[in-house]
A = this chain, B = another copy of it.
């Protein structure tokens, strides 16, 4: 790798002049610039990005931490961030947190150690106070789940509204007993969706029944168990509302054994091709990722500008047939 110093020698100028030319500083005479440019191309000069980064004190990189990059929802967020970042000559440092809240701080801190210029996070924790020491060092933007215990930007979906919409839709299709199947109430998405579900039921005069709430779904076994428990109730539900796409993915195979109408918060890749086609609340993760990335970039470009902290994106119901049954 050839360095600025070498280019400087070749062009018969100082290192600083090469730096100026490279960085398009106008204070260089045209002929000088020509000489330097020639030397640069002759020697195939490429700047050492590591040195620039070191100098700058931060890497031209956006860190992204999500529960699971294989989940198409989070995958879409990461891809959108990547595209937005690429436009600004930035790269994306990703990591999958997993579902264990205990490990998050360690994983994210290790990501932050790499001095990214910004962080985009879908936290699996109930509070994120461990991030406090970082808040004044780089822009941190929460996606999908708003922060608790720290002040930071967030782009989330209208969890309450979406759940309300989906539940109301089930009621409209004649369901009175509707189960809620989810993972952990410690996640704001889940608790908000439960709230939306509950409100819809109450508004419909169908009443809220704690027994219809089945939490703790983590894998195929717990998903099946949840459905079996609901079916075993004295007054079993005729439909269930699944609180997120991951849970729905686990629930779908179990529906073969425990058929029941279903509506899902979160779209799935082949939702329309299932039998019956799945009714879902569509979330547009690409927009979330894109907005989050742009916010990071905006904050870097305009450190003192003020922004709206919390942005809630609208969701829409895609009615298909699984809500009937």
A interface residues with partner B (beta carbon < 8 Å): 46, 49-51, 53-54, 57-61, 68-70, 72, 75-76, 78-79, 82-83, 86, 89, 91-96, 107, 110-111, 113-115, 249, 252-253, 255-256, 268-270, 272-275
Contact = CB atoms under 8 A, between A and B. Distances in A.
A260 to B, nearest CB: 15
A293 to B, nearest CB: 13
A93 B92 contact: yes
8 contacts: A49-B115, A69-B82, A72-B72, A82-B96, A89-B110, A91-B111, A255-B273, A273-B274
Given A68-B79, A91-B93, A110-B89, A270 B272 contact: no
Nearest to A68: B79
A114 B49 contact: yes
Given A69-B78, A70-B79, A253-B272, 8 more contacts: A46-B113, A59-B114, A82-B95, A91-B93, A91-B110, A255-B273, A268-B269, A274-B275
A59 B70 contact: no
A254 B55 CA distance: 54
A93 B64 CA distance: 10
A78 B57 contact: no
A61 B69 CA distance: 18
A25 B91 CA distance: 35
Contacts of A70: 72, 75-76, 79
A301 to B, nearest CB: 20
Contacts of A92: 93-95
A283 to B, nearest CB: 14
Given A86-B107, A107-B86, A268-B269, A50 B46 contact: no
A50 B49 contact: no
Contacts of A76: 70
Contacts of A54: 50-51, 53-54
Contact of A274 (B68, B114, B274): B274
A184 to B, nearest CB: 21
Contact of A273 (B60, B78, B94, B252): B252
A51 B58 CA distance: 10
A190 to B, nearest CB: 21
Contacts of A255: 273
Residue of A70, A111, A269 contacting most chain B CB atoms (<10 Å): A70
Contacts of A72: 70, 72, 75, 269
Nearest to A78: B69
A68 to B, nearest CB: 7
Contacts of A270: 249, 252-253, 268-270, 274
A142 B91 CA distance: 20
Contacts of A91: 93, 95, 110-111, 114
A91 B275 CA distance: 41
Q: Which 3 pairs show the lowest CB-CB distances between chains A and B?
A: A54-B54, A275-B275, A70-B75
